[in-house]
Structure 1
Amino acid sequence: MDLETAVMKKKESFNDTDKAIVSYLLQYPEAASKLSLMELAQKLYVSKSAIFRLSKKLGLSGFSELKFELSELTMKKKQQEKYAQELDFDANLQKVIDDTFKYFKGLNLTNLFNDLDNADTIYIYSTGWQQQIIAEYLAHSFFLIGKKAIILPSARDEVSMLAQSVAANDLLFIISFGGFNKTIIDELKKIDTMNGKLKFVSLTSWQPGKIASLSDYSFFFKTTPFQISNQNAVTFSSVYVLIDLLMNEYGKHCGL
Structure 2
Amino acid sequence: MNILKQMVINIDNFTSTDKKIYKALLEFPQLIERDSIAQLASYLKVSPSSIMRFCQKAGYSGYSEFKFEYLKQLNAFNESKQKKSILEFFLSIYTQTLEEIGNLDENIFINLCEEIYNSKNTRCVGNGKSSLPGDKLKLNLAPYGKEIISLNDVCLYRDLPKIIQDDDLTIFFSVTARSIGIYECIKECYEFNKKSVLVTCLPDKKILKYVNNVIYIPKKVQNKYLITDSHAMMIIFVDLLSNYYTNFITNQL
Paired amino acid for 1:123:
R
Contact 2:131 2:151 in 1 (8 A): no
Q: Distance in 1 between matches of 2:102 and 2:213?
A: 18
Using a 3 Å threshold, how does the CA distance of structure 1 residues 234 and 163 change in structure 2: closer, same or farther? closer
Secondary structure of the residue aligned to 1:252 is helix
Using a 3 Å threshold, how does the CA distance of structure 1 residues 240 and 109 change in structure 2: closer, same or farther? closer
Q: Distance in 2 between matches of 1:253 and 1:137?
A: 18
Paired amino acid for 1:94:
T
Query: 1:150, CA displacement in angstroms?
Result: 0.9
Using a 3 Å threshold, how does the CA distance of structure 1 residues 185 and 96 change in structure 2: closer, same or farther? same
Contact 1:179 1:212 in 2 (8 A): no
Query: 1:138, CA displacement in angstroms?
Result: 1.5
Alpha-carbon RMSD: 3.3
Using a 3 Å threshold, how does the CA distance of structure 1 residues 203 and 84 change in structure 2: closer, same or farther? farther
Structure 2 stretches of 5 or more lacking a match? 1-81
Contact 2:124 2:172 in 1 (8 A): yes
Q: Deviations over 1:217-254 (max 9, x none)?
A: 222323234899xx988374332221122122222222
Aligned length: 168
Secondary structure of the residue aligned to 2:159 is helix
Partner of 1:33: none
Partner of 1:142: 141
Partner of 2:19: none
Identify which of 200, 203, 211 aligns with 1:204: 200
Q: Distance in 2 between matches of 1:221 and 1:241?
A: 10
Are residue 241 (structure 1) and residue 236 (structure 2) matched? yes
Contact 1:104 1:242 in 2 (8 A): no
Query: 1:131, CA displacement in angstroms?
Result: 1.8
Partner of 1:181: 179
Contact 1:179 1:208 in 2 (8 A): yes
Counterparts of 1:105-124 in structure 2 under 5 Å? Answer: 105=106, 107-124=107-124
Q: Distance in 2 between matches of 1:109 and 1:147?
A: 16
Paired amino acid for 2:132:
I
Secondary structure of the residue aligned to 1:167 is coil
Contact 2:161 2:185 in 1 (8 A): no
Based on CA coordinates, which of the two structures has the bigger radius of gyration? 2
Contact 2:97 2:228 in 1 (8 A): no
Using a 3 Å threshold, how does the CA distance of structure 1 residues 90 and 214 change in structure 2: closer, same or farther? farther
Query: Which TM-score applies when normalising by structure 2?
Result: 0.55
Using a 3 Å threshold, how does the CA distance of structure 1 residues 227 and 143 change in structure 2: closer, same or farther? farther
Using a 3 Å threshold, how does the CA distance of structure 1 residues 252 and 141 change in structure 2: closer, same or farther? same
Structure 1 stretches of 5 or more lacking a match? 1-79
Q: Distance in 1 between matches of 2:115 and 2:227?
A: 39
